[in-house]
Amino acid sequence: MHKSAFIFDMDGVLVDSTPYHLEAWEIALKRYGYNLATDFKVRPYGRRGRDILGDIAPEMSEEKIDEFADAAEKIFRDIYESEVEQIDNVVEFINHLKRRGYKIALATSAPRENVDMILSVLHLVSFFDPVVCENDVERGKPEPDIYLKVLEILREKPENCIVFEDSFAGIESAKRASIEVIGVISTNEREELEKVGIRVIESFDELLREL
């Protein structure tokens, strides 16, 4: 892989956190009178909580959406902090990239508090430069804003970068920023990811062998 910068999504790429997000949303939705089974009709992976809620409950005010999203994310952190585990060999892969002097960035739809918690548990706080999250852009994935922001900070051209994503929203976001994407199997199956015409990996072991 002849690239100079590697950009990682977080949920579904660094950690397999989806079941805990769904649990947190189910708890939060019940508090607000919604039912996850009947109201959660969109595939939420990769998108900001505020954007997902706008689809589920378009009648909610912006103030209520912010209140709900903050509550759901706090519930998520409370139930997930003791359960954080890396996706197979991703930390080893990032360590390998760091030792070889590559630029490494994080681009996630998660709020800053989630990022700080997960990177701290994985001992990766100092590894990403930059870290761009939902707080840093006006529009979330699948809009390209977050990856365009990373490119701007890295001062890199899209063709010099690779993005690791697990969600269709994230893949679309990176593609719209003209960056090559490698799909990580976690929230979606291999067959689904391959349909969008990208390389797919089961484990970062595959890339470690190549490097």
pLDDT by residue for the chain (211 residues), tens only, comes to 689 999 999 999 999 998 899 889 889 888 878 766 554 544 557 778 777 777 777 777 888 888 888 999 999 999 999 999 999 899 999 999 999 999 999 999 999 999 999 999 999 999 999 999 998 999 999 999 999 999 999 999 999 999 999 999 999 999 999 999 999 999 889 999 999 999 999 999 999 888 7
Q: Under 8 Å CB-to-CB from 155, ≥6 apart: which residues?
A: none
For residue 65, the model assigns a pLDDT of 84
**Rounded Cα–Cα distance for residues 195 and 70 (Å):** 34
Q: Are residues 69 and 123 in the same domain?
A: no
**Rounded Cα–Cα distance for residues 189 and 192 (Å):** 5
- Which residues are catalytically annotated? 9
Q: Are residues 147 and 171 in the same domain?
A: yes
- Domain stops at, among 52, 67, 82: 82
Cα 50–chain centre separation:
15
Q: Are residues 169 and 119 in the same domain?
A: yes
Domains in the chain, number: 2
Q: Are residues 132 and 100 in the same domain?
A: yes
Q: Are residues 112 and 69 in the same domain?
A: no
**Rounded Cα–Cα distance for residues 133 and 146 (Å):** 7
For residue 37, the model assigns a pLDDT of 58
Domain residues for the domain of 45 are 18-82
**Rounded Cα–Cα distance for residues 133 and 111 (Å):** 6
Q: Which residue has the tokens 């994985």?
A: 122
- Domain stops at, among 63, 82, 101: 82
